[in-house]
Structure 1
Amino acid sequence: MPRLRLRHVLRGALAALVPFALLGASGGPAHAEWPGAAPVVSRVETTDPVVFITIDDGWFHDPAAARLLLDRRVPASLFLLPGAYSYDSGYFHRLLDHGRVRIENHTVGHPDLTTLDAAGQRAEVCGARDAHLAEFGDGPRLLRPPYGVYDATTRTTARACGAKAVVTWTYDLTTWGQWTPPTPELKAGDIILLHFNETLEQDLERALALADAAGLTPAPLREYVPE
């Protein structure tokens, strides 16, 4: 093949490849970007004199704890499992309708998310989001991974499933059996973890007393976590 013709053939071949190279570099339709990682929040950086009450799981529906939340108008983030309200959703509807609580994401089945692949994590997190939205009409914006355990996949999955942050905690003030939690000196921005168990009323009373002693007021966590 004459040299001039060969040069034209090569130039044409390269020109044909350029659009495909640019498409890949620009993240075109064939390479849709995965959402960025959600931040991890164990306490909120704030100068406001506030503390955050969070309550996990939802299995034990204590009327006394509900009355305390309602009577004291406590803003609380409820990280619920769908199964925990499947047999008595009215308990949580009353808290939503008459109190200052928000329903947040705690997965479907409470697994250690780090033992699951990306598809498994997405099924757990997005599945809980869909269940909460269907039941309460409000999608969760915060994810608490079970046991406070997460990895890089959890953070990207959280964002993909609508959560703006992965939330752990500063202090766990849950009473478990004979074990009594410590009595910390709370500071502004601390996140308190409680659970819907048999001791929730007394645990909540203790948490509120500790906050009051520190000059802190419970505040809605979702409003303090930026988009």
Structure 2
Amino acid sequence: MGCAQSVDPIERLGKKAAQRVRPRRPAHDRGYRRWGLAEPLARSPLHPARPLAAHRGAHGLPPVVDRVPTRDRVVFLTYDDGAERDPRFVDMVRELRLPVTLFLTAGVAGPGRDHFTRLRTLGAGIQNRITGHRAPAGLPYAVQRAAICGQRDGLRSRFGVRPRLLRPPHSSYDPTTLRAAADCGITAIVLWRAALTPAGLTYLHGPHHLRPGDIVLVAPGEPSGPPLRERTVRVLRRTQEQGLTVGRLEDYL
């Protein structure tokens, strides 16, 4: 369910930044034990072993994905608004060379939020997340398009990137959402196959274990709960136990 990669110059700059993230230092220099891992993360492919063919959903609309069809033994870590609550998360991403994708609203990532700028510098993917108290499904086309394109423009102004992946609030979408997303340059709607909740790693459907290509949501959690870095480590441990590592979502979609 992949999509053709953009050739936008800004997109290429983002990929160059990500390529600086993935080459890994010697194990003794990565400090993986400091973050609670028993062993370093396995090397992730620099590029998909089997690049996904360009794919569109029905009638040329963006596909809706919660996993990527790949034989590479990788899963993908995604984060929504709230990652700034744990300043040391940036250190973790840097030291572990951890590929992550952030779905942000322009308001949360506004000026003064240097946390996201540092993550972007480390190669984190910056993608679109619309927000609102009302789920988008059922809203008129003009309203949905304004929300999606507005967030796109805000993120581009803030980070110099043009998001091409979208995560709608409450996983809510309808055919109008897909049409509005396509008109705003979105190439895929990204949900998730597994999510880290207070009860642990929850699988939405399918086998109760991670599989190659699964998209994982690490939610911000409650302010009084474990910090983001600790919850990320829980996912990384489970990933390693199942013989997987972390890939960069933007390389596959």
Q: TM-score range by the shorter chain?
A: 0.7 to 0.9
Alignment gaps of 5+ in structure 2: 1-58
Alignment of 1:54-203 (within 5 A): 54-58=78-82, 60-86=84-110, 88-97=112-121, 99-109=122-132, 111-175=134-198, 179-182=199-202, 184-197=208-221, 198=223, 199-203=227-231
SS at match of 1:84: coil
Shift of 1:59: 6.4
Change over 3 Å in CA distance of 1:188–1:49 after alignment to 2: same
TM-score normalised by the chain length of structure 1:
0.76
Partner of 1:213: 241
Superposition RMSD in Å? 1.9
> 1:61 deviation in Å?
2.9
Q: Aligned partner of 1:128: which letter?
A: Q
Q: Distance in 2 between matches of 1:59 and 1:135?
A: 17
Displacement of 1:108 in angstroms is 5.0
Classify the secondary structure of the residue corresponding to 2:61: coil
Equivalent pair of 2:131/2:168 in contact (CA under 8 Å): no
In the TM superposition, residue 174 of structure 1 has moved relative to its aligned partner by 3.4
User: 1:200 Cα shift?
Assistant: 1.6
Per-residue CA deviations over 1:143-200 (Å, capped at 9, x if unaligned) read 011111111111111111111100100011133xxx4444842110000001234432
CA distance in 2, matches of 1:156, 1:55: 25
For 1:84, the aligned partner's letter is: V
Letter in 1 for 2:109: Y
Hey, what does 1:41 align to over in structure 2?
A: 65
Q: Is 80-89 or 216-225 further displaced after alignment? A: 80-89
SS of the residue corresponding to residue 94 of structure 2 reads: helix
Question: TM-score of the superposition, structure 2-length normalised?
Answer: 0.69
Q: C-alpha displacement at 1:38, in angstroms?
A: 0.5
Aligned-pair CA distance for 1:82: 1.5
Computing the radius of gyration from Cα coordinates, the structure with the larger value is: 1
Distance apart, 1:118 and its partner CA: 0.5
Equivalent position of 2:74 in the other structure: 50
Percent identity for Structure 1 against Structure 2? 39
Contact 1:109 1:124 in 2 (8 A): no
Aligned equivalents of 1:138 and 1:87: distance in 2? 15
> Which structure carries more helix by proportion?
1
Distance 2:94 2:169 in 1: 26
Secondary structure of 1:53's counterpart equals strand
**1:100 offset after TM fit, Å?**
2.7
Q: 1:57: how far off?
A: 1.7
